[in-house]
Amino acid sequence: MISFQKAKSIINEHMFELSKETVPLDESIGRVLADNLVAPFSSPRFDNSAMDGFAVCSSDTLRASKKIPVELKMVGISSAGSPYHSKIKSRECVQCMTGAIIPEGADSVVMVEDTSGFSDSKIVKVMIETFPGKHIRMKGEEVNKGDILINRGTTITTNELGVFATFGYGKLNVSKRPKISIFGTGDELVDPGQKLKEGQIYNSNLYVFSDLTEKAGAEVINRDVIKDDETSLKLFLKEALLHSDVIISSGGVSMGRYDYVRKVFIELGVKEHFWKVAQKPGKPLFFGTKDNKLIFGLPGNPVSSFIGYMEWVWPVLKHMLGEQQKNNLIGVLDRPFPLEKAKHRFLFGKVKNKNGKLICSPTNLVGSHMLSSALDANCILNSSPGSGSLDVGKTINFNLLPWKTIE
């Protein structure tokens, strides 16, 4: 059995990023950006009007008011896509629509509401004094050409999608999605919806693994429950080793009579890096490699599997995708957290923001089979080995479950 820190170090040595591929913009949601995206042009691309009104030289509006308006000659129209190309002179103005290019010689826009309005008249009465830059969106005030718009490693959402489209990106380079094979072992496992016979239990872990894999941005290519039979297990794993980037098992890595998984992994040429880790829950944890494939053998107990996936597999998938990993957060306990003398300890918990402090409540359900402990959880609390417990008011590390928020 190795320490938690040593196991982390070994896995870190074997992590790698996958290559990239190009996808159409409308297929990019949920993918991870593989390159920094730079602005191909400034935004705005040109000085343009923020209002419907008149482009003027601000010095011509000195002391203008409703009682004593300034009269200017309207010499043309500038609209979005149809700019006015001549230079305006003193005491001239151009009718200017929202988004239209500001004509040369103008340095301000007067809203139509502050004038005599749009009409066929060539004389416009300006009823307000203005100043340079008023109601003008200046070239590059949002983004300059060559600026980084979005950093590599960003998961693309609707927020990013609109920016890509605004800057003309019809295709994007994204990280390839890791291909994942997941399986469980045991004659006792039955899919939900079927009737249980004596000694049988429902298969929950593979449903959890599948959802977590999709949430992480990876792709499940194989999922199966393998009976306690070495031949069937070998057939599945031979196929998985050919086509997967990561293989994840649930159960079969402990000391039971029918726990074949570790044995079969090794027979198929998988190099074992460790088998047991000083942690609770989830001491039976296998990690191996073969031909740039990463293999995780997680325990069968549902809490051990869930927490094991989040602690060991999730960070690996995120690294493969090139995503930046978030560090542990720190909160304050409002109830004791039980420690293990020689093991790293994990528990589901609930963290809340109370007056600017992150307050953590560990679950009362501590059994590795008690998956209902995850129902109200939004985080996984963890602590290094120690005696007794961490008392109320002590600080504790936690990882927020990525699909949850802090209230």
Confidence band (pLDDT; 50, 70, 90) for 186? confident
Confidence band (pLDDT; 50, 70, 90) for 373? confident
* Rounded-to-integer distance, Cα 233 and Cα 220, Å: 18
Peptide bond into 44 cis (omega under 30): yes
Report residue 313 as tokens.
């597999």
DSSP string of 29-94? TT-BB-S-EE-SS-BSSS-EESSSEEEE-GGGGTT--SSSPEEEEEEEEEBTTB---SPP-TTEEE
pLDDT tens sequence across 132-176: 999 999 999 999 999 999 999 999 999 999 999 999 999 999 999
Q: Is 133 exposed, middle or buried (0-12, 13-18, 19+ CB in 10 A)?
A: middle
Contacts of 252 (CB under 8 A, 6+ apart): 184, 185, 186, 233, 258, 259, 260, 261, 262, 297, 300
| Of the candidate ranges 18-32, 75-89, 109-123, 318-332, the one whose mean pLDDT is the lowest | 318-332
3 state SS of 169 = coil
3 state SS of 379 = strand
Instruction: Say what percent of the chain tops pLDDT 90.
Output: 81
Q: What is the pTM of this model?
A: 0.85
* pLDDT of res. 199: 81
* pLDDT of res. 253: 59
DSSP state at residue 309: I
Average predicted confidence (pLDDT) for the chain: 92
Q: What is the mean pLDDT of residues 376-399?
A: 95
pLDDT tens sequence across 68-90: 999 999 999 999 999 999 999 99
* Rounded-to-integer distance, Cα 244 and Cα 236, Å: 12
* Rounded-to-integer distance, Cα 109 and Cα 53, Å: 6
- Domains of the chain listed by start with CATH number: 4-17+177-320 (3.40.980.10), 21-41+147-175 (3.90.105.10), 48-137 (2.170.190.11), 329-400 (2.40.340.10)
* pLDDT of res. 368: 64
| Of the candidate ranges 53-67, 117-131, 227-241, 245-259, the one whose mean pLDDT is the lowest | 245-259
pLDDT tens sequence across 188-213: 777 888 888 888 877 888 999 999 99
Number of Cβ within 10 Å of residue 290's Cβ equals 14
Contact between residue 53 and residue 96 where contact means Cβ atoms under 8 Å apart: yes
Confidence band (pLDDT; 50, 70, 90) for 367? low
